[in-house]
């Protein structure tokens, strides 16, 4: 007898279930899942977005001058932590929160830079 070829086909999700899930998603995550061609691509896009924003927030708020090996360890742990944050980003506004944190830190760093520049001008 011949071999039995089994093809697994994912059952299409019910439109009502899809709408229910999308209605509970956070804003930017929902936008990505609705507009990107596949759910896999949307998941990777959310992960990359969370990782880049987390890296920006770390760099603006917490980073210090460290050795290269220490930086590698920090970014590896940041990468692993962002995997967990990506799961939270599906239904919680993680991306939006990271954007707000980055904007606040950018304003803080800009103001700090201006104050230092004015102190240097006053000293000269």
Angle between helices 15-24 and 27-35 (to 10 degrees): 150
Q: What whole-number distance in Å separates Cα of residue 118 and Cα of residue 23?
A: 49
Q: Assess if residue 4 is contained within a domain.
A: no
Q: Assess if residue 3 is contained within a domain.
A: no
Q: What whole-number distance in Å separates Cα of residue 89 and Cα of residue 26?
A: 7
Domains: count for the chain? 1
Q: Assess if residue 8 is contained within a domain.
A: no
Q: Assess if residue 50 is contained within a domain.
A: yes
Question: Where do we find the tokens 């995997």?
Answer: 83
4 with 17: CB under 8 angstroms?
A: no
The model's pLDDT over 42-73, given as tens digits with 9 standing for 90+, comes to 999 999 999 999 999 999 998 889 999 999 99
The model's pLDDT over 83-124, given as tens digits with 9 standing for 90+, comes to 999 999 888 899 999 999 999 999 999 999 999 999 998 887
Q: Assess if residue 5 is contained within a domain.
A: no
């Amino acid at each position: 007898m011949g071999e039995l070829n089994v093809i697994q086909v994912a059952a299409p999700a019910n439109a009502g279930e899809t709408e229910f899930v999308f209605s509970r998603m956070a804003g930017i995550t929902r936008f990505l899942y609705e507009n990107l061609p596949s759910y896999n691509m949307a998941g990777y896009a959310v992960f990359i977005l969370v990782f880049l924003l987390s890296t920006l927030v770390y760099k603006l708020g917490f980073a210090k001058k460290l050795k290269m090996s220490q930086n590698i360890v920090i970014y590896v742990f940041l990468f692993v932590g962002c995997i967990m944050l990506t799961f939270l980003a599906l239904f919680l506004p993680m991306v939006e929160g990271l954007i707000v944190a980055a904007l606040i830190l950018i304003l803080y760093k800009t103001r700090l830079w201006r104050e230092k520049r004015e102190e240097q001008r006053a000293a000269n």
